[in-house]
Amino acid sequence: MQTITLYNGIKMPLLGFGTFQIEPKDTQQCVEEALEIGYRHIDTASAYNNEKEVGLAIKASGIKREELFITTKLWVSDMSEEGAKRAFEKSLENLGLDYLDAYLLHMPYGDVYGAWRSLARFYNEGKIKALGVSNFMPDRITDFCLHNVIKPSINQIELHPFYQNYYAQGINENLGVKVTSWASFAEGQNGINEILKSIGEKYDKTPAQVVLRWLTQRGIPVIPKTIRKERMRENLNIFDCSLDSDDMAKIATLEQNTSYFFMPNNAQHTEWIIKGKKIINGRVLD
């Protein structure tokens, strides 16, 4: 598996397995299958309510701990100095681990500075190998990096062919922060795109594989989610080709320059997220 190197020297797999929206009852089997196929980076979060099942899959796999890269995240309801301490320890317990490879602030809301102070102690103790954030827009990540001695090494953001976020990637890179793509396929909202399909036919790849290769060629780690074993294999099988400049130019035309889910700098979206609502295309779904 290809890796990227974070600013503190930690190596992170370029392609991982995401568990967002996988039901707890299905999570252990899915993660066990992903590990069996060859995934070594597993991404979860306390808000996904499946950390325990991820932990059971890790234990059942028998894979050496040092071969794995495990990421989880701190939710808004625990975003304080004391809350972060409790939540981190709970996540370790759920996962059955002694340390985490990456631990992220899931949203830029609440007492993020207090939470960061608490997590910095765990980082200094070696219980967190890489500290990071998620959904921090360019202004927020800049402010956060300039006001903390320990800077985030990762920022998970929405990033796909219809919301390409080159500007955000550049800001993060200049700060020493590596962006990771979530919703790499825009959760399938555009169906099968003909441009992606035609590029895929050129390399005998699916549109999804084209998207993952487009992202990884930009040096962006990806964490696609699927509950189908054959899709897990397909998502891993992307490194035997490289998109050329013509392909990249065609994908550039798909840019719509707007979030498909939520904007962290939108006051109404912020309220909805804190209240636990799901947002698609700027609208709340009950």
The mean per-residue pLDDT over the stretch 25-40 comes to: 98
- Of the given ranges (23-32, 180-189, 263-272), which has the lowest mean pLDDT? 263-272
- Residues counted in the chain: 286
Query: Taken in order 260, 264, 268, 273, is the CA torsion positive or negative?
Result: positive
Q: What is the pLDDT of residue 282?
A: 45
H helix intervals, 96-181: 112-124, 138-146, 166-174
pLDDT of residue 192: 79
Q: Of 111, 79, 133, 183, whose CA–CA distance to 142 is shortest?
A: 133
Does residue 191 carry a pLDDT above 80?
Answer: no
pLDDT of residue 203: 97
What percentage of the chain exceeds 70 in pLDDT? 92
> What is the average pLDDT across 115-141?
97
Stretch 217-241: mean pLDDT, rounded? 97
Catalytic residue among 39, 48, 103, 123: 48
How far is 257 from 251, CA to CA, in rounded Å? Answer: 13
What is the pLDDT confidence band of residue 190, given thresholds at 50, 70 and 90?
confident
Q: Mean pLDDT, the chain, as a whole number?
A: 93
Q: Pick one of 3.20.20.100, 3.30.200.20, 3.40.50.1580, 3.40.640.10 as the CATH number of 3-255.
A: 3.20.20.100
pLDDT at 184 over 60: yes
Position 237 scores a pLDDT of 97
Is residue 283 scored above 90 in pLDDT?
no
Q: How confident is the model at residue 83 (pLDDT cuts 50, 70, 90)?
A: very high
Neighbours of 115 (CB within 10 A): 23
pLDDT band at 126 (very low <50, low <70, confident <90, very high): very high
Band of residue 285 on the pLDDT scale cut at 50, 70, 90? very low
51 pLDDT exceeds 70? yes
| Res 70 pLDDT > 50 | yes
Residue 286: pLDDT over 60: no
pLDDT at res. 161: 97
Task: Using alpha carbons, select from 55, 56, 48 the residue that is nearest to residue 75.
Answer: 48
Determine whether 163 is an active site residue.
no
Q: Give me the pLDDT at residue 264, please.
A: 62
pTM, rounded to two decimals: 0.92
Q: Which residue is associated with the tokens 């956060």?
A: 144
pLDDT value at 164 more than 60: yes
Helix H or strand E segment including 178: strand 178-182
Give the pLDDT of residue 65.
Answer: 97
- At residue 274, the pLDDT reads 67
- pLDDT confidence band for 66 (50 / 70 / 90): very high
Q: Is 78 exposed, middle or buried (0-12, 13-18, 19+ CB in 10 A)?
A: buried
